[in-house]
């Protein structure tokens, strides 16, 4: 069993840390919000008021933070736990951030001999709690191999996308594509509805045809076509519009920096940003379906 330091105990981080505890690891945790810490300590974790003391002696550090600047601050700049990490330590950053921040952090850590992988996740709070997340990993083969048993405690599908930063790129590509699937599926269903088709019937037909895709098949955005999805629960739960806007911002930044052309991803970023401005930021991202509804006319 490993000594694990865990930073960032939000909606995703807390259940991930608890899964590590329940697998028998010794887990020290830190967060800026004391209440967040309490919950994990109750589940068997330990803590300390000084983040450097949380990190000291760790075999593995896991972080789950909001943005690149927080990751750089934790490891290298402000908090600088790099000062107390041993060269044998492995750093697993599961935050969804820009690839450049991941690469910068990895490079600084490598100068002290510390391994780093970027390992952003998909699967949401439900997946974090159930331990069924998908991890998209960037890093060396040896770091990946070392991380794998730890990641398997928290997730089900562990993908090795390439070198450091590749995990972030893979996630950005996947989520940009996901947004395209969702908006395209919403449009197609609404076009059918506007012309008299039953959405459940049309969904079935397209799912068995070349229109088949994840959002249509298992996350249908039209209310009451499926059970157990946000669209059948007033678009509550799931993956918030606000988070999709954030991920699509990362996708566009990545596209601009690499001179890639992403007309569809750029359009979904703007449709979601307009959807957010219309007051739907905290609803599940499948609620874009309602923007196409004839009802309001």
Q: Which of residues 99-128 bind a copy of itself (CB under 8 A)?
A: 99, 122
Total site size for a copy of itself, rule CB under 8 A:
87
CB-CB contact of 94 with 123 (8 Å)? no
- Identified binder of a copy of itself from the candidate list 3, 134, 140, 232, rule CB under 8 A: 134
* Selection from 67, 1, 65 nearest residue 33 by Cα: 65
CB-CB contact of 121 with 130 (8 Å)? no
CB-CB contact of 58 with 85 (8 Å)? yes
* Selection from 74, 61, 71 nearest residue 20 by Cα: 61
- Identified binder of a copy of itself from the candidate list 33, 196, 227, 228, rule CB under 8 A: 196
Tell me the window of 6-14, 79-87, 144-152, 167-175 that interacts with a copy of itself (CB under 8 A). Answer: 167-175
- Identified binder of a copy of itself from the candidate list 197, 200, 223, 232, rule CB under 8 A: 197
Beta bridge partners of 121: 135
Kindly tell me which of 26 and 273 has the beta carbon lying closer to a copy of itself.
273
Query: Token pair 């940003």 is at which residue?
Result: 273
- Identified binder of a copy of itself from the candidate list 187, 200, 223, 232, rule CB under 8 A: 187
Number of neighbouring beta carbons within 10 Å of residue 71: 26
CB-CB contact of 116 with 72 (8 Å)? no
Kindly tell me which of 49 and 195 has the beta carbon lying closer to a copy of itself.
195
Beta carbon of residue 160, minimum distance to a copy of itself (angstroms, whole number): 8
Beta carbon of residue 232, minimum distance to a copy of itself (angstroms, whole number): 18
Kindly tell me which of 32 and 194 has the beta carbon lying closer to a copy of itself.
194
- Identified binder of a copy of itself from the candidate list 174, 220, 286, 287, rule CB under 8 A: 174
Tell me the window of 43-51, 58-66, 143-151, 184-192 that interacts with a copy of itself (CB under 8 A). Answer: 184-192
Catalytic residue among 28, 72, 171, 283: 171
Distance CA 185, CA 104 (A): 38
Residues of span 207-266 touching a copy of itself by CB under 8 A: 208-216, 219, 245, 249, 251-256, 258-266
Beta carbon of residue 67, minimum distance to a copy of itself (angstroms, whole number): 12
Q: Assess 1 for contact with a copy of itself (CB under 8 A).
A: no
- Identified binder of a copy of itself from the candidate list 11, 194, 233, 234, rule CB under 8 A: 194
Q: Is 171 a catalytic residue?
A: yes
Can you spell out the DSSP letters for 234-293? TT-SSSBHHHHHHHHHHHHHHHHHTT---HHHHHHHHHHHHHIIIIITTSBGGGHHHHT-
* Selection from 240, 239, 241, 238 nearest residue 273 by Cα: 241
Tell me the window of 68-76, 81-89, 220-228, 286-294 that interacts with a copy of itself (CB under 8 A). Answer: 286-294
Q: What's the token pair of residue 172?
A: 């950005």
Residues of span 48-87 touching a copy of itself by CB under 8 A: none
Number of neighbouring beta carbons within 10 Å of residue 250: 22
**Element (H or E) spanning 7, and its range?**
strand 3-7
List, by residue number, the catalytic residues. Answer: 171
């Amino acid at each position: 069993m490993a000594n694990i330091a865990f930073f960032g105990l939000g909606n995703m981080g807390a259940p991930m840390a608890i899964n590590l505890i329940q697998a028998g690891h010794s887990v020290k945790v830190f967060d800026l919000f004391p209440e967040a810490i309490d919950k994990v300590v109750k589940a068997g974790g330990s803590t300390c008021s000084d983040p450097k003391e949380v990190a000291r002696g760790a075999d593995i550090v896991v972080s789950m933070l909001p943005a690149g600047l927080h990751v750089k601050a934790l490891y290298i700049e402000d908090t600088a736990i790099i000062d107390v990490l041993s060269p044998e330590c492995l750093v697993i950053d599961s935050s969804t951030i820009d690839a450049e921040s991941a690469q910068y952090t990895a490079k600084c850590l490598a100068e002290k001999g510390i391994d780093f992988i970027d390992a952003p996740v998909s699967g949401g709070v439900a997946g974090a709690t159930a331990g069924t997340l998908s991890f998209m990993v960037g890093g060396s083969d040896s770091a990946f191999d070392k991380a794998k048993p730890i990641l398997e405690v928290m997730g089900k599908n562990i993908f090795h996308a390439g070198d450091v930063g590749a995990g972030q790129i893979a996630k950005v590509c996947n989520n940009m594509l996901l947004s395209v699937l969702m908006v395209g599926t919403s449009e197609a269903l609404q076009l059918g509805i506007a012309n008299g088709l039953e959405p459940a019937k049309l969904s079935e037909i397209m799912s068995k045809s070349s229109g088949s895709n994840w959002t249509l098949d298992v996350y249908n955005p039209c209310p009451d076509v499926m059970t157990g999805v946000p669209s059948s629960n007033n678009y509550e739960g799931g993956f918030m519009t606000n988070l999709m806007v954030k991920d699509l911002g990362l996708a566009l930044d990545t596209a601009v920096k690499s001179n890639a052309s992403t007309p569809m991803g750029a359009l979904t970023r703007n449709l979601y940003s307009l959807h957010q401005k219309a007051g739907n930021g905290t609803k599940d991202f499948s609620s874009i379906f309602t923007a196409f509804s004839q009802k309001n006319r």
